[in-house]
A and B are shown apart, each in its own frame.
Chain A
Amino acid sequence: MIEIRKIWHYLTRYVDSFLLAGILILMSIGLIVLYSATGGNVTRVSNQAVNILVALVIMWLVANIPLQQILRLAFPMYMLGLILLIGVALFGEINNGARRWLNIGVTRIQPSELMKIAIPLMMAWYFDKYEIALRLRDYLGATILLLLPVLLILRQPDLGTALLIAASGFYVLFLAGLSWRIIVGLVTAAAASLPILWSVMHDYQRQRIMTLFDPTQDPLGAGYHTIQSSIAIGSGGVVGKGWQNGTQTQLDFLPEQSTDFIFAVFSEEFGLIGNTVLLLLYLLVIGRCIAITANASTQFTRLISGSITLTFCTYIFVNIGMVSGILPIVGVPLPLISYGGTSMVTMLLGFGILMSIQTHPKLIKT
């Protein structure tokens, strides 16, 4: 009995139970929706369950590493990611116009995925090194650290991932205290550069934005997604059509219903009530993350956990925004719900870092 208690203690020592509970509830909802989205395909559901288990183990391992250790990983991880991205640009496999994968003999990897964690770590580490008030050139240095990988990913081309990684870096800059004047300046500059961005965009990217304004333009191609997911959400009404009874889903009107568009399935079958519950659950998890961030003891831990939290929010907003037709379609999964192993692992890795920050003794608290 005592042995079991010991083991239990050992296992849960560095786990934040509030956060874990929130994550588990969301992932369970994900499995239930997936079952319906795949028309009762048990194989896919159990595949996802395996993905979840693997991601949980990784989260647990990361949570057990003290942040000082993780701090040391920041620079090597960033450099590795950068080298791999350059490798992609030079020797990457061209898969019909896009160069995103690198074949390293044993397997193919997508280095931009590694960057999703490496960027916040690296930038938080960078700011942590400065002890006194930050000056403009410190921010410039950080911006260059951020721009290198973002430009490389933009070249692949993978606009969605580049923007998300840029956002995660920007959150570090913002939380580190980047002055408001510069932020306003940046926003103005960004708005001014929109026409230039438009001119360098690839045709498929332009089309996605055009169809946002008029989905009927291309009803079989890009517009089809938006039309069908809006119908699914709208026809769900207040209470939804019931689990496994969404006609849009079951009659296959919805595209990619187990991955990027899984929210439309949920929304059609569980309605506004379901949406409310889901958003509240997400807010609970986000709230806990913000509490962890606010109580973190060093600048490094504060910045890293703040960036991870805000990136998580961004994923939710961008995914639901695109599925409900207020944002263009970029390939972003709904965190903790969409089918797929990679994004699940990346997400839970982030939560592992947050748990480590929360549960390890805060040795140098003042």
Chain B
Amino acid sequence: MKQHVELRNHPIELYKFRMRLAISAGFVLVLFLLLYARFYYLQIIQQEHYHTLAEANRISIAPLVPYRGLISDRNGRILAQNYSAYTLEVVPSKIQDLEATLNELATIIEITPADRQRFNKLLKESKRFKSLPIRNRLTDVEIATFATNRYRFPGIEIKAQVYRQYPEKEMVSHVIGYISRINDQDLEQLESSGELHNYRGSHHIGKTGIEQSYEKQLHGVTGFEEVETDAAGRSIRVLSRTPPTPGNNLILTLDIGLQEVAEIAFSDRRGALVALDPNNGEVLAFVSKPGYDNNLFIGGIDQENWNLLNNSIDRPLNNRALRGVYPPGSTFKPFMALAALELGKRTPEYSMSDPGYFSLPGVSRRYRDWKPGGHGRVDLHKSLVVSCDTYYYSLANDLGIDNIHNFISQFGLGSKTGIDIEGEASGLLPSSAWKMRQHKQKWYAGDTISVSIGQGYNLTTPLQLAFATMLIANNGKAYLPRLVKQIQNSQTGEVQDIPAKLLYSLNLKPKNLEVVKNALVDVTRPGGTAAKAGTNADYTFAGKTGTSQVIAIKQGERYNEKLINERHRDHAMFIAYAPADDPKIALAILVENTGTGGSTAAPIARQVFDYFLLGKLPEMDLAHLIEPIKDHVHDHL
């Protein structure tokens, strides 16, 4: 060690190092002098020039904010639009006594305490030189009144502003989403994507739904003009102008008429409905109830309304169709049936005797059918028509969880469909590998039993169910669900179609599909679980009812709807497509806390089909179609 140090600290070495250091120091000094020379140039030689630029005739580059693209449904009904209105704006730095001036202003134009409150909030957040709105949406009379009194209020001006508006309010609010003020997080995002300069002058950005996912299309390109302004910042003349390019218009796949019928059919119940065109994946209706008025969010939502929406037990802000995950219940059975046929575990002819329960070999525990006493002799067809649980319990045991998982995941259950709005939930289609990963536990045969009737670990979104139903309806063609049909250039009017995207095709035997599809038609006929909804239909439709459990019922206990808190009651599910022989629409319906699918969800499907296929509008009194909640008692596992 000693020698090591001596060698290294040899005086010559040290001298050499210090020489190098001195050279570096000299170099740094030169660089600093270079900077100083630049300061001298800018601040002494060119000072006049820059002073002129900055003070006397400030040339400001004013951004010209583009019009945001419009959003309409497939028939041209407007869902999001812009309108111009006048606001009264204040530049605090130009006013001596702000309080007194505002009080004086209030004597000629109405300024509510809420206006003052919002203004004070903005005042705290902004610079003194910034122009801040004190009143929005002035009436013609108010504009005239202020114009005549303008001389009394230097520093206060009328400005034109463009506002976004959603004419349908609560309807389709989850799909359209809303725009709101650009916050710090948005700024960061814009900066890192290099788009910040395109947002100079923009105050709003899409936050949810189509408004968010198609922000790039909708926003447009910001233009700018060079304006000569005087020392007070007032513009004198425009020197040059590059006009903004308005955003593109979006034409959605949605049919608002259909959406309206569906929303009316829900009346005040909570739930979701997704309807797809099985020939191309276009989303025809996308309902999440209750909705909310997205107009509330545009200017920044006020605390009171926010609390109302955010704390509501009905959770209106939650997009149930996209993000709500529910056990699919018996709507899972058609896929189980297809798995049984395709994998050769059952034939259509095979039948079993249903005593009303199923037990695993060597285990005393009984898995019960929803119908006490059972359904008697049951084959595959009947198992779907009457929704026999026992048939699927025994089938599940023969298939095994991993066969079930591998086959049914082809229908998109338990994974995102890839729809063109953000925030989709993926749900869950369990497998033994998943359970090991997630719970560090091996898979038990008993777990498979509850999975087979769509309960247990199973979780799907209404969108996924609609997607899976589409695959049955169109014999296995997986089209990407799309909400935007066309993009229109708002300047040239040129319309660009977004083509249907076939993700993959399933290779299913036509014979097997036919067996299942025939059974689904019989579900809506006398003897089926949705017979009531199918009464006197002018077309054939296929469907499957389901009940999605909210709380687990203990072994041996009975589910009594009346005794259970309303929020803990089962969800009603229904999947369907029509017409059965040439499907034009496939859908999934969820109605929260209303019991069985046949009684509440299927009638909604009927009304949607009646409108879509026959143009029939629902009668406003729907009571005859929807059964009131009866004191019906049924069993659960």
**Chain A positions near chain B (C-beta within 8 angstroms):** 39-40, 95-98, 128, 131-132, 171, 174-175, 177, 204, 219-221, 224, 230-238, 247-248, 250-253, 267, 271-272, 275-276, 279, 282-283, 286, 290, 293-294, 297-299, 302, 306, 310, 313, 317, 320-321, 324-326, 364-366
Q: Ordered nearest first, which 10 A-B pairs have the shortest CB separation?
A: A234-B50, A39-B127, A96-B193, A235-B54, A234-B42, A235-B50, A366-B9, A272-B43, A237-B47, A313-B28
B20: Cβ under 8 A from any A Cβ: yes
**Chain B positions near chain A (C-beta within 8 angstroms):** 4-9, 13, 16-18, 20-21, 24-25, 28, 31-32, 34-36, 38-40, 42-44, 46-47, 49-51, 53-55, 58, 60-61, 63, 126-130, 192-194, 197, 200, 222, 224, 226, 233
- Given contacts A220-B222, A320-B35, is CB(A271)–CB(B17) below 8 Å? no
CB <8 Å contact, B192 and A96 = yes
Chain B interface secondary structure, helix, strand, loop or mixed? helix
**24 A–B contact pairs at CB < 8 A?**
A39-B127, A40-B128, A175-B17, A219-B226, A220-B200, A230-B50, A231-B54, A233-B43, A234-B42, A234-B46, A235-B47, A238-B43, A238-B47, A247-B54, A250-B127, A251-B233, A252-B129, A253-B60, A286-B25, A290-B25, A293-B21, A306-B21, A310-B28, A324-B42
Contacts of B49 in A (CB 8 A): 234
Q: Please give 11 more A-B residue pairs, beta carbons under 8 A apart, in addition to A39-B127, A267-B39, A321-B38.
A: A39-B129, A177-B20, A221-B197, A230-B42, A231-B54, A233-B42, A234-B42, A238-B43, A302-B17, A324-B38, A325-B38
Contacts of A235 in B (CB 8 A): 47, 50-51, 53-55
Complex Cα–Cα for A233 and B197 (A): 22
Q: Return the chain A residue nearest B93 by Cβ.
A: A250
Complex Cα–Cα for A224 and B198 (A): 13
Complex Cα–Cα for A96 and B38 (A): 35
Complex Cα–Cα for A76 and B58 (A): 55
Complex Cα–Cα for A272 and B25 (A): 23
A79 to chain B, nearest CB (A): 24
Select one of B24, B53, B200 contacting A231, CB under 8 A. B53
Contacts of B222 in A (CB 8 A): 220
Contacts of A324 in B (CB 8 A): 35, 38-39, 42
Complex Cα–Cα for A48 and B6 (A): 46
A97 to chain B, nearest CB (A): 8
Complex Cα–Cα for A91 and B61 (A): 41
Most buried by B among A220, A234, A297, A364: A234
- Given contacts A175-B20, A238-B43, A247-B58, is CB(A283)–CB(B32) below 8 Å? yes
CB <8 Å contact, A272 and B7 = no
Complex Cα–Cα for A99 and B457 (A): 37
Complex Cα–Cα for A219 and B38 (A): 22
Contacts of B32 in A (CB 8 A): 279, 282-283, 317
Complex Cα–Cα for A287 and B126 (A): 41
Complex Cα–Cα for A310 and B47 (A): 32
Contacts of A221 in B (CB 8 A): 197
CB <8 Å contact, B44 and A220 = no
CB <8 Å contact, A39 and B197 = no
CB <8 Å contact, B17 and A177 = yes
Complex Cα–Cα for A98 and B39 (A): 34
Complex Cα–Cα for A326 and B49 (A): 18
Select one of B18, B43, B55 contacting A247, CB under 8 A. B55
Q: Return the chain B residue nearest A271 by Cβ.
A: B43
B22 to chain A, nearest CB (A): 9
Q: Return the chain A residue nearest B33 by Cβ.
A: A279
Most buried by B among A95, A221, A235, A253: A235
Select one of B4, B51, B63 contacting A234, CB under 8 A. B51
Complex Cα–Cα for A294 and B129 (A): 50
Complex Cα–Cα for A132 and B8 (A): 7
Complex Cα–Cα for A248 and B129 (A): 11
Contacts of B54 in A (CB 8 A): 231-232, 234-235, 247-248
CB <8 Å contact, B7 and A132 = yes
Q: Return the chain B residue nearest A221 by Cβ.
A: B197
CB <8 Å contact, A131 and B31 = no
Contacts of A238 in B (CB 8 A): 43-44, 47
Q: Return the chain A residue nearest B3 by Cβ.
A: A131
Contacts of B44 in A (CB 8 A): 237-238, 272
B32 to chain A, nearest CB (A): 6
CB <8 Å contact, B46 and A224 = no
B121 to chain A, nearest CB (A): 14
CB <8 Å contact, B35 and A236 = no
CB <8 Å contact, A231 and B192 = no
Complex Cα–Cα for A234 and B55 (A): 11
Complex Cα–Cα for A171 and B24 (A): 9
CB <8 Å contact, A131 and B4 = yes
- Given contacts A96-B192, A237-B43, is CB(A306)–CB(B24) below 8 Å? yes
CB <8 Å contact, B192 and A220 = no
CB <8 Å contact, B28 and A95 = no
Complex Cα–Cα for A326 and B39 (A): 11
A64 to chain B, nearest CB (A): 24
Complex Cα–Cα for A355 and B457 (A): 60
Most buried by A among B13, B28, B55: B28
Complex Cα–Cα for A251 and B130 (A): 7
Complex Cα–Cα for A144 and B453 (A): 62
Contacts of A248 in B (CB 8 A): 54
Contacts of A224 in B (CB 8 A): 61, 197
B228 to chain A, nearest CB (A): 14
CB <8 Å contact, A220 and B61 = yes
CB <8 Å contact, A299 and B8 = yes
Contacts of A253 in B (CB 8 A): 60
B182 to chain A, nearest CB (A): 15
Complex Cα–Cα for A174 and B193 (A): 37
- Given contacts A290-B21, A310-B28, is CB(A231)–CB(B8) below 8 Å? no
Contacts of A267 in B (CB 8 A): 39, 43
B191 to chain A, nearest CB (A): 9
- Given contacts A313-B28, A366-B5, is CB(A231)–CB(B50) below 8 Å? yes
Q: Return the chain A residue nearest B191 by Cβ.
A: A256
Contacts of A232 in B (CB 8 A): 54
A348 to chain B, nearest CB (A): 20
B437 to chain A, nearest CB (A): 16
